């Protein structure tokens, strides 16, 4: 076993950083809640796939692999894990708003606020597309089938894992394969468009600073755009979908549908943190 670590500069709630966002349920992520161990695959620069086990100990995120990594690959894994767990984000402004509004006051005490993301933006773009116009169980199934049919099979820590497929692999599989084996339906065309753009212009579509270009990907409407904004650390938008509407109408309007502007203004007082306010209001 080989272990390396990421020091944490502030109090960190490891369990909630994983489970506050449903991404932990989507392959290739595996969460062992009893042991508080998070497993998943990571790509290396020579196109290998390794399995990492992540846990928290002594104010550090510990990363364990069963194979020795090159210094470059180790640096890449450190970057991936730091990104996934938002190690470099600071949530004090959000916590201040929680106290100012006297709402969600348990979040600062419990150091909640982090929403898990994937190691790469391409994986998150695809996963966001898998959440559109469907039920959560179907999203889980599509992610599992996508990794099973197109990911690389690898063993680690006594079990089998499958990697998230590369854009090139998805393009090679084609639309008919996605529809038949992954059951992505109309999303298949959108996933292929995302893969095509990722391969041909990664600098434009696969950088956090490229947020404004995400809308050029087919299938990325307002809901998906604001969800991807959350992924890159922008919380000033809202993921207005059926789940949002159901929560807001039931919680703030006594079950009577308001106007569109009223529906979308409920969290205005949270400013740059509207997304987090909605998320933790709904899923508290």
What mean pLDDT do residues 243-262 have?
97
Q: Is the same domain home to 223 and 155?
A: yes
Structure tokens at 283: 């899923």
Instruction: For residues 78 and 28, give the distance between their C-alpha atoms in angstroms, rounded to a whole number.
Output: 18
pTM of the model: 0.96
Q: Are residues 53 and 64 in contact, defined by beta-carbon separation less than 8 angstroms? A: yes
Q: Is the same domain home to 256 and 215?
A: no
Query: Strand order of the sheet with strand 2-7?
Result: 2-7, 60-65, 49-57, 37-43, 30-32
pLDDT at 204: 94
Q: Is the same domain home to 249 and 188?
A: no
Indicate the pLDDT class of residue 174, thresholds 50, 70 and 90: very high
- CATH of residue 43: 3.30.310.20
Tell me which residue of 99, 113, 115, 94 sits closest to 21, measured CA to CA: 115
Backbone angles phi, psi at 61, to 5 degrees: -85, 120
What mean pLDDT do residues 184-207 have?
97
Structure tokens at 86: 């938002």
Q: Is the same domain home to 125 and 186?
A: yes
What mean pLDDT do residues 161-171 have?
98
pLDDT at 46: 86
106 in a domain, yes or no? no
pLDDT at 11: 83
What mean pLDDT do residues 181-200 have?
98
103 in a domain, yes or no? no
What mean pLDDT do residues 51-58 have?
97
102 in a domain, yes or no? no
What mean pLDDT do residues 204-210 have?
91
Does the pLDDT of residue 284 top 90, yes or no? no
pLDDT at 31: 99
Q: What's the number of domains the chain is made of?
A: 3
Q: Is the same domain home to 131 and 225?
A: yes
pLDDT at 210: 87
Does the pLDDT of residue 93 top 90, yes or no? yes
Q: Is the same domain home to 219 and 131?
A: yes
pLDDT at 235: 98
114 in a domain, yes or no? no
26 in a domain, yes or no? yes
53 in a domain, yes or no? yes
Last residue of a domain, one of 44, 66, 88: 88
Of residues 11 and 53, more confidence is placed in: 53
72 in a domain, yes or no? yes
Q: Is the same domain home to 9 and 76?
A: yes
How far lies 109's CA from each of 7, 13, 92, 95, 104, in Å?
Answer: 21, 10, 11, 9, 10
pLDDT in tens, 212-252: 999 999 999 999 999 999 999 999 999 999 999 999 999 99
Q: Is the same domain home to 198 and 255?
A: no
pLDDT in tens, 11-39: 899 999 999 999 999 999 999 999 999 99
- CATH of residue 198: 1.10.340.30
What mean pLDDT do residues 73-100 have?
97
143 in a domain, yes or no? yes
- By residue range, what is the domain housing residue 36? 2-88
């Amino acid at each position: 076993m080989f272990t390396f670590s990421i020091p944490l500069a502030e109090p960190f709630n490891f369990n909630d950083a994983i489970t506050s966002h449903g991404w932990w349920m989507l392959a290739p992520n595996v969460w062992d809640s009893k042991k508080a161990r998070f497993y998943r695959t990571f790509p290396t620069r020579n196109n290998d796939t390794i399995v990492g086990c992540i846990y928290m100990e002594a104010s550090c995120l510990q990363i364990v692999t069963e194979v020795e990594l090159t210094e470059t690959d180790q640096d890449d894994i450190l970057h991936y894990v730091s990104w996934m767990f938002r190690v470099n984000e600071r949530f004090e402004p959000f916590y201040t708003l929680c106290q100012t509004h006297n709402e969600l006051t348990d979040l600062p005490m419990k150091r909640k606020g982090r929403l898990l993301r994937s190691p790469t933006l391409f994986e998150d773009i695809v996963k966001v597309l898998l959440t559109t116009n469907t039920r959560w169980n179907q999203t889980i199934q599509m992610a599992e089938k996508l990794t099973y049919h197109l990911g690389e099979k690898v063993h680690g820590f006594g079990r089998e894992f499958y990697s998230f497929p590369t854009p090139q692999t998805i393009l090679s599989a084609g639309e008919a394969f996605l529809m038949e084996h992954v059951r992505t339906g109309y999303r298949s065309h959108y996933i292929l468009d995302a893969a095509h753009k990722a391969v041909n212009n990664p600098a434009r579509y696969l950088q956090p600073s490229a947020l404004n270009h995400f809308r050029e990907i087919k299938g990325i409407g307002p809901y998906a755009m604001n969800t991807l904004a959350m992924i890159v650390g922008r919380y000033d938008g809202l993921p207005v979908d059926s789940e949002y509407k159901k929560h807001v109408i039931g919680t703030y309007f006594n079950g009577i549908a308001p106007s569109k502007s009223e529906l979308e203004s409920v969290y205005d007082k949270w400013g740059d943190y509207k997304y987090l306010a909605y998320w933790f209001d709904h899923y508290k």
